[in-house]
Amino acid sequence: ELDKLLSDAKIGTDLIQSLGDGMRKLSESTNSLGSVVDAGSANNEFVTNIKAAATNVSKLSDSYIKASDSLTAISNADGQNYGEQLQRVSKNLSTLNSVYELQIQGTKEYVESSAKAYNNITELLQYLDASVEDTKRYKDEIHVLGKNLSALNTVYGNMLTAMNFNR
């Protein structure tokens, strides 16, 4: 009787299996994002959120398996109400799947922008290091110039003294 309700609701084993496969792929994708996130040392909180999302996806997959087992166990019960509930569960799981896909996409974009910002900061620090060296050279050259001017003033002073002495 449940098989009849499932076929009337156009919910076949292919749809249930496809939904389970989608949840597993989502879990694998979320787990693989963890290795990308580890590249940014400044994103520890972000890594924690990704791991929590992976755990939630895993729990969702376990819940889906339990729901599937429960549906098999109640296959002898009266069907129309269960068929409607199954449709609602299917819609809810589909919605959750979409939400997790959006979250993963947003997470991926955040990781990419964080990596870009990190690279830009690294480049800025390199430029700052180079400018510090240039500033040190400038300071040294100004010091040498000051010494040379002082020596030149001494020479001119001596010349003026010698010229005034003969008068």
pTM of the prediction?
Answer: 0.34
| Residue tagged 């020479």 (tokens) | 155
Per-residue pLDDT tens digits for 27-81: 787 777 656 545 554 466 676 777 777 777 677 677 667 667 666 765 655 667 7
DSSP the chain: -HHHHHHHTT--HHHHHHHHHHHHHHHHHHHHHHHHHTT-TT-HHHHHHHHHHHHHHHHHHHHHHHHHHHHHHTTTS-HHHHHHHHHHHHHHHHHHHHHHHHHHHHHHHHHHHHHHHHHHHHHHHHHHHHHHHHHHHHHHHHHHHHHHHHHHHHHHHHHHHHHHHT-
Within-domain flag for 138:
no
Within-domain flag for 96:
yes
Within-domain flag for 132:
no
Per-chain mean pLDDT for the chain: 80
Within-domain flag for 37:
yes
Per-residue pLDDT tens digits for 96-142: 999 999 999 999 999 999 999 999 999 999 999 989 999 999 999 99
Predicted pLDDT of residue 98: 92
Predicted pLDDT of residue 167: 59
Per-residue pLDDT tens digits for 134-145: 999 999 999 999
Q: Domain count of the chain?
A: 1
Within-domain flag for 22:
yes
As a whole number of angstroms, the distance between CA 26 and CA 102 comes to 11
Predicted pLDDT of residue 76: 53
Predicted pLDDT of residue 64: 67
Work out the end-to-end distance of the chain between its first and last CA atoms, rounded to an integer number of angstroms: 133
Predicted pLDDT of residue 127: 92
Parent domain of 111: 2-115
Predicted pLDDT of residue 70: 65
As a whole number of angstroms, the distance between CA 87 and CA 69 comes to 16
Predicted pLDDT of residue 153: 96
Within-domain flag for 135:
no
Within-domain flag for 153:
no
Within-domain flag for 127:
no
